[in-house]
C-alpha cells in the first residue's frame, strides 16, 4: 500500500471534518446554546415554515432582544402553567399567549402589572366583576380598593351591544382580561408580540393606542406640552433601547409617558404599576386623593427632579391641585342638579335614556377629566378650551334642561327621554 | 446463465445485475421516503406527488426490463426500459432541485438558513440512480471504467450524506455529541473512496477502503436505532407525527445503502486493477 494514497485519504477526510466544525461554530447562539433538544430545534425549524407564511413575525423576532438573549420561539410558545398545549409539527405549543407565558421569566414585572389599574380594574371598568375569579377580585382590592368589587358592567355594555364592546372597548380594556390559565392580561398590548420591545413601550404612540380621545386625552395633552413638542423635535437623538435598569437622562433627556410613569431613570425603581406614581384618582367624576397620596406624589416628584428644580415641580403640582379642586366643585354642582331631579322623581328611568344624562356624563367624563389631566401634564389648552370652557357651557345647558324638566308633569321626563 | 458468447457469468457474480437491483430497490424505498418527507409539507404543491408516483412505478418498469433480459433474453427491452427510467429519474432529480430552490436558504443565503433549508440537494438521489441506469447500459461492466463510475456515484452519495448529516444535525444544534458521528464517518468515507478515482491503488488499500465501508454500516445501523429511539419518545402522542417531523427514520440507512454500491464498485476495481495495474 502506498503512503500517498493513505495521505490523500486522511487529508481529505480531515479537511471535511474541520469544515463541518467551522460551519457549526458560525451558527447563531440562539440555535445552539439551549437547555433542551426541542428548544434547539425550535427557532430555525419554526422559522423555516413561518418565514414564508408570516415573514414579519420571524423578522421581528430575529431583531428582538429575545433573539439576542437566546430566547427562541418555543420558550414563549410552550404551554405555561394551566395552559393546554396542542401538537404542532413535532412541537407541543400554545398559539394564544397570555401574561402567563411572559411571567415564567418576568414574574416580578407581572406582579407589578397585576397590582396596577391596567389589570383587573381596567377589565372591570367595562364588564365589572364578570369573568374575574373571586381570588382575583380579592387580590385587586388589596391594591386598588373599590376598583373591581361590587362593580357592575358599564351601562353601555347593554345599551351599545356586543359588537361595540368587542371591536371598541375590549381593544383597550382587554389589557386586563382574565385569562383561562388564571392569569390576567397581556404584556403584548404595550410590548408587541414578536418584537417584545422596550423601545416600543417607551413611545408615546404606544400609550396613545388607548389613552386618547375626549374621555382620556392624555396623548393630545402630551402633544401640546413642551415634553411632546421636544420629543418630536429630538426623537432621533434619544436612545429608547436602553435596558430599563440602565436608563439615564442622557438616553432620554426628553420624557415620554413611560419615562415619568414607569421608567427607572437614573437608578430610580422601574415599575409596571403606574399607580405607584399617581396621587389622585383623576378619572373619577369627583377626584379623591389616592390612599398613599404622599408616597406616590413623592415618587413622581422624584422623577420630575431628574430634570426640573423643586420649586418648579411644587408650583406645577400646586396649580394642578387647584384645578382638581375647581373641577371637583363644578362636577359636584352638576351632580347635585341631576341627583335632585332623580330624588324629586322628575328624572326617572334607566341611565342614559334622557338627553340630560349625556350632558352630565360628558361634563365630567370628557371635560372634567380633560381639565384635570391637562393641568398635571402641561396642556394649557386642554385645561381651558377643552376642559373648563365646555364645563361652563354644559353647566348652563344642564341648569336650563333641569328647569325645563321641572316644568313638565312628573314622570314625563323619563318617558320623553326613553322615546328619544 | 449465459451472458454472451465469450463468457459464462453466474448471476450472482454479475455486477451489472447487482447495480440494476440496487437501483430498483432504492427507487422502491424512495416511495416511502418521499411520502414521509413531503408529508412535512403536507404535499402542498401537486408537483410533490411526481417523485412519489415515479418511485412507485419505476421499480415495476425496471423489473419488467430485468425479466425481459434474464428470462426472455430481450436485451433491447431491458436497455430501452432502463434508458426510459434512467433519463426520467435524471429529469425528476433536476426538477426537484429547482423546486427545492424555493427554500429559505435561497432567500437569505446564510449558514443559518442553510441548516433549515429544504434539502435542495436531496432530489439529486434520483439523478444519481438515473445516471447509474444509463451508465450501466453505456459502459462495459467488464472494464475498470465501469467500476470507477460506480464508485464515483457512491462517493457522491457519501458527500451528500456528509452535507445532510451536517446540516440536519446542525438544526438539532448537535445537542448530543453522537450527532457528530455520521459527519466524521462520511468525511472519512469520502477521503478513502476518492483515492481509487485519483490514482492507481494496491489491493491492500482497497481492503482498507472495505474496512472503512464496514465502519459506515455500523454508523448507519447505530443511527437508525438512535433515530427510532428519538421518535419513540417524541413530543407527539402519534408515532406518525414524530416520524414525519422528528428524526428521519430512513436517513441513516443511506450509509448502509451506499456501502452496497461502493462495494460493487470496489469489487470491479479490485478485479480489474488486479489484471491491469498490480
The set of residues, in sequence order, having a beta carbon less than 8 Å from that of A58 and lying 6+ positions away, is: A46, A47, A50, A51, A194
Best mutation target among B40, B102, B106, B115 (most A Cβ atoms within 10 Å) is: B115
Residues B244, B247: Cα–Cα separation, whole Å: 8
Which chain B residues have a beta carbon less than 8 Å from that of A1?
201-202, 204-205, 208
The beta-carbon neighbor of A5 closest among B117, B201, B244 is B201
Q: Do A5 and B116 touch (CB under 8 A)?
A: no
State the ipTM, two decimals.
0.71
Taking the Cβ of residue B140 and every Cβ of chain A, the question of whether any pair is shorter than 8 Å is answered with no
Higher pLDDT, A351 or B37: A351
Confidence of residue B107 (pLDDT cuts 50, 70, 90): low
Closest-approach residue (CA) in chain A for B163 = A20
Tell me which residue in B107, B112, B180 faces A44 most closely, judged by beta carbons: B112
B191:A5 CB<8 A: no
Among chain A, residues having any CB pair with chain B shorter than 8 Å are 1-2, 4-6, 8-14, 16-17, 20, 23-24, 26-28, 31-34, 37-38, 40-41, 44-45, 47-48, 51-52, 87, 89-92
A13 to B187: CB separation less than 8 angstroms, yes or no? yes
Q: What SS3 class is residue A91? A: strand
Closest alpha carbon within chain A to B103: A48
| Chain A CB within 8 Å of residue B188 CB | yes
What does the pLDDT profile of chain A (420 residues) look like in tens digits? 677 888 888 889 999 998 888 877 776 666 667 667 777 777 667 877 787 778 888 889 888 999 888 788 888 999 999 999 988 877 889 999 999 999 999 999 999 999 999 999 999 999 999 999 999 999 999 999 999 999 999 999 999 999 999 999 999 999 999 999 999 999 999 999 999 999 999 999 999 999 999 999 999 999 999 999 999 999 999 999 999 999 999 999 999 999 999 999 999 999 999 999 999 999 999 999 999 999 999 999 999 999 999 999 999 999 999 999 999 999 999 999 999 999 999 998 888 999 999 999 999 999 999 999 999 999 999 999 999 999 999 999 999 999 999 998 765 455 554 444
Angle at B32 between CA B30 and CA B38, to 5 degrees: 90
Q: Structure pTM?
A: 0.73
Nearest CB among A9, A14, A90 relative to B242 is that of A90
Helix H, strand E, coil C: the string for chain B is: CECCCCCECCHHHCHHHHHHHHHHHHHHHHHHHHHHHHHHCCCCCHHHHHHHHHHHHHHHHHHHHHHHHHCCCCHHHHHHHHHHHHHHHHHHHHHHHHHHCCCCHHHHCCHHHHHHCCCCCCCHHHHHHHHHHHHHHHCCCCCHHHHHHHHHHHHHHHHHHHHHHHHHHHHCCCCCHHHHHHHHHHHHHHHHHCHHHHCCCCHHHHHHHHHHHHHHHHHHHHHHHHHHHHHHCCCCCCHHHHHHHCCCCCCCHHHHHHHHHHHHHHHHHHHHHHHHCC
Domain limits of chain A?
311-417
Q: Which residues of A touch B241 (CB under 8 A)?
A: 87, 89-90
B173: confidence class by pLDDT, cuts 50, 70, 90? confident
Amino acid at each position: 500500500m502506498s503512503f500517498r494514497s493513505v495521505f490523500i485519504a486522511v487529508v481529505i477526510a480531515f479537511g471535511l471534518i474541520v469544515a463541518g466544525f467551522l460551519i457549526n461554530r458560525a451558527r447563531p447562539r440562539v440555535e445552539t446554546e439551549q437547555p433542551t433538544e426541542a428548544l434547539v430545534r425550535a427557532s430555525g425549524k419554526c422559522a423555516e415554515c413561518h418565514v414564508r407564511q408570516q415573514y414579519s413575525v420571524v423578522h421581528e423576532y430575529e431583531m428582538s432582544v429575545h433573539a439576542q438573549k437566546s430566547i427562541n420561539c418555543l420558550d414563549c410558545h410552550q404551554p405555561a402553567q394551566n395552559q393546554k398545549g396542542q401538537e404542532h409539527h413535532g412541537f407541543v405549543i400554545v398559539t394564544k399567549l397570555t401574561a402567563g407565558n411572559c411571567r415564567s421569566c418576568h414574574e416580578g414585572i407581572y406582579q407589578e402589572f397585576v397590582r396596577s389599574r391596567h389589570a383587573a380594574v381596567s377589565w372591570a371598568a367595562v364588564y365589572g366583576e364578570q369573568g374575574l375569579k373571586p381570588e382575583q377580585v380579592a387580590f385587586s382590592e388589596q391594591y386598588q380598593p373599590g376598583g373591581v368589587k361590587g362593580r357592575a358592567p358599564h351601562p353601555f355594555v347593554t345599551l351599545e351591544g356586543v359588537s361595540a364592546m368587542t371591536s371598541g372597548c375590549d381593544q383597550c380594556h382587554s389589557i386586563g382580561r382574565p385569562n383561562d390559565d388564571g392569569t390576567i392580561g397581556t404584556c403584548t398590548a404595550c410590548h408587541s408580540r414578536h418584537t417584545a420591545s422596550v423601545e416600543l413601550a417607551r413611545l408615546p404612540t404606544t400609550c396613545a393606542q388607548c389613552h386618547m380621545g375626549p374621555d382620556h386625552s392624555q396623548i393630545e395633552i402630551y402633544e401640546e406640552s413642551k415634553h411632546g413638542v421636544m420629543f418630536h423635535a429630538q426623537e432621533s437623538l434619544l436612545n429608547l433601547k436602553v435596558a430599563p435598569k440602565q436608563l439615564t437622562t442622557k438616553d432620554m433627556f426628553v420624557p415620554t409617558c413611560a419615562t415619568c410613569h414607569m421608567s427607572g431613570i437614573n437608578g430610580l425603581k422601574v415599575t409596571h404599576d403606574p399607580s405607584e406614581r399617581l396621587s389622585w384618582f383623576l378619572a373619577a367624576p369627583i377626584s379623591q386623593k389616592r390612599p398613599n397620596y404622599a408616597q406616590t406624589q413623592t415618587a413622581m416628584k422624584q422623577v420630575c427632579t431628574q430634570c426640573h428644580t423643586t420649586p418648579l415641580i411644587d408650583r406645577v403640582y400646586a396649580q394642578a391641585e387647584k384645578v382638581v379642586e375647581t373641577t371637583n366643585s363644578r362636577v359636584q354642582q352638576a351632580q347635585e342638579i341631576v341627583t335632585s331631579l332623580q330624588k324629586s322623581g322628575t328624572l326617572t328611568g334607566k341611565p342614559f335614556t334622557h338627553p340630560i344624562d349625556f350632558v352630565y356624563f360628558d361634563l365630567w367624563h370628557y371635560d372634567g377629566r380633560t381639565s384635570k389631566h391637562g393641568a398635571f401634564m402641561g396642556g394649557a389648552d386642554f385645561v381651558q378650551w377643552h376642559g373648563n370652557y365646555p364645563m361652563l357651557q354644559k353647566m348652563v345647558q344642564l341648569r336650563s334642561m333641569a328647569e325645563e324638566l321641572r316644568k313638565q308633569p312628573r314622570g314625563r321626563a323619563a318617558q320623553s327621554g326613553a322615546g328619544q | 446463465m449465459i451472458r454472451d458468447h465469450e463468457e459464462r457469468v453466474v448471476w450472482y457474480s454479475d455486477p451489472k445485475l447487482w447495480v440494476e437491483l440496487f437501483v430498483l430497490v432504492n427507487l422502491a424505498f424512495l416511495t416511502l421516503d418521499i411520502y414521509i418527507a413531503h408529508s412535512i409539507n403536507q404535499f402542498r404543491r401537486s408537483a410533490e406527488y411526481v417523485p412519489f408516483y415515479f418511485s412507485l412505478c419505476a421499480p415495476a418498469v425496471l423489473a419488467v426490463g430485468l425479466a425481459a433480459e434474464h428470462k426472455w433474453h430481450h436485451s433491447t427491452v431491458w436497455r430501452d426500459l432502463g434508458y426510459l427510467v434512467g433519463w426520467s429519474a435524471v429529469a425528476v432529480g433536476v426538477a426537484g432541485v429547482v423546486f427545492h430552490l424555493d427554500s429559505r436558504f435561497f432567500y437569505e443565503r446564510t449558514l443559518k438558513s442553510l441548516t433549515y433549508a429544504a434539502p435542495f440537494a436531496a432530489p439529486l438521489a434520483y439523478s444519481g440512480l438515473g445516471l447509474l441506469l444509463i451508465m450501466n447500459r453505456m459502459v462495459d461492466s467488464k472494464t475498470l471504467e465501469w467500476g470507477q463510475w460506480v464508485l464515483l456515484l457512491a462517493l457522491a452519495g457519501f458527500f451528500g450524506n456528509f452535507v445532510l448529516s451536517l446540516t440536519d444535525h446542525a438544526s438539532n444544534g448537535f445537542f448530543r455529541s453522537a450527532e457528530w458521528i455520521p459527519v466524521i464517518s462520511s468525511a472519512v468515507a469520502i477521503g478513502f473512496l476518492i483515492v481509487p478515482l485519483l490514482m492507481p491503488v494496491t489491493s491492500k488499500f482497497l481492503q482498507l477502503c472495505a474496512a472503512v465501508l464496514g465502519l459506515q454500516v455500523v454508523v448507519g445501523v447505530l443511527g437508525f436505532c438512535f433515530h427510532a429511539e428519538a421518535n419513540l419518545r417524541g413530543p407527539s402522542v402519534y408515532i406518525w407525527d414524530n416520524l414525519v417531523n422528528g428524526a428521519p427514520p430512513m436517513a441513516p440507512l443511506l450509509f448502509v445503502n451506499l456501502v452496497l454500491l461502493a462495494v460493487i464498485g470496489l469489487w470491479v476495481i479490485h478485479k480489474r486493477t488486479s489484471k491491469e495495474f498490480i
